[in-house]
Amino acid sequence: MPYSGFSLDGKVALVTGAARGIGAALAAGLAEAGANVAVSDMTTRLELARDTQSRVEAAGVKSATYPLDVLDINSISPVIGRIVDDFGKLDILINNAGIRIRKPALEVTEADWDATLDTNLKGLFFCAQAAARPMIAQGWGRIINIGSQFSAVGSVDRAPYIASKHGVAGLTRALAAEWAQFGVTVNAIGPGPTETPGMLAADDRTPEQVQADLDYRMPLGRRMQPHELTGAALYLASPAANATTGHLLLVDGGWTAL
């Protein structure tokens, strides 16, 4: 009999920041594994989010697009309530929405700090909190937070980003400890450098400088592609991961191995 532990047939997932990049790739991957997928992003990216919805629907599952800005804390619970009403439940949350600001620590402004921490950590927490309520009520759920290799190590010119991603790792452990009793697991994925529109926009280095950095720091020797994170997400979302919680799964091309 084929092993079915990775099947997501009949599950309902929400992916935040799903208009492009990692979020779009993970939404499509969940759909290919059988999950129905609610797609969300900011109102300015809804057309791109609908493109992701089309990719999801091409896998033969149900999808819909919802405007969700994780900085608008009061809007999070109503949106998740709509998703539960529309799909009948919520089993999986991929907490993907995030930003990065790359600059020396001496140049970081309060606005830089607040934008990064409010998006990457505060918004992530309140999305997890809102999603956990229906998951706890049904006795099963998967919350997967997108961290970074910088959830585990430091670097230069990324102080707010690294602070937020270390926070994601710690918050993942705290929520995992609190919600395991209710059948809800909480884990994080730590991607290494991944070629996304957000990363490219935040990096003002030349291609030669980027490659020199990758040659020095990353055994893989290149930036990863968003779809290379799909396997990690499918594992953590699936019944195969019933006993995995509070874990930071690094998918970083060997960055933290050095």
Query: Which letter, b or e, does each residue of 140-155 get, where b requires 16 or more Cβ atoms within 10 Å of its Cβ?
Result: bbbbbbbbbbbbbbee
Neighbouring C-beta atoms of residue 201, cutoff 10 Å: 11
Residue in 3, 161, 216, 235 annotated catalytic? 161
Q: What interhelical angle do 21-32 and 230-237 show, nearest 10?
A: 50
Catalytic residue at 161? yes
Task: State phi, psi for 92 to the nearest 5 degrees.
Answer: -135, 130
Concatenated DSSP letters of 167-187: HHHHHHHHHHHHHGGGTEEEE
Residues β-bridged to residue 187: 144
Q: Is 47 exposed, middle or buried (0-12, 13-18, 19+ CB in 10 A)?
A: exposed
Neighbouring C-beta atoms of residue 66, cutoff 10 Å: 21
For the annotated catalytic residues, the residue numbers are: 161
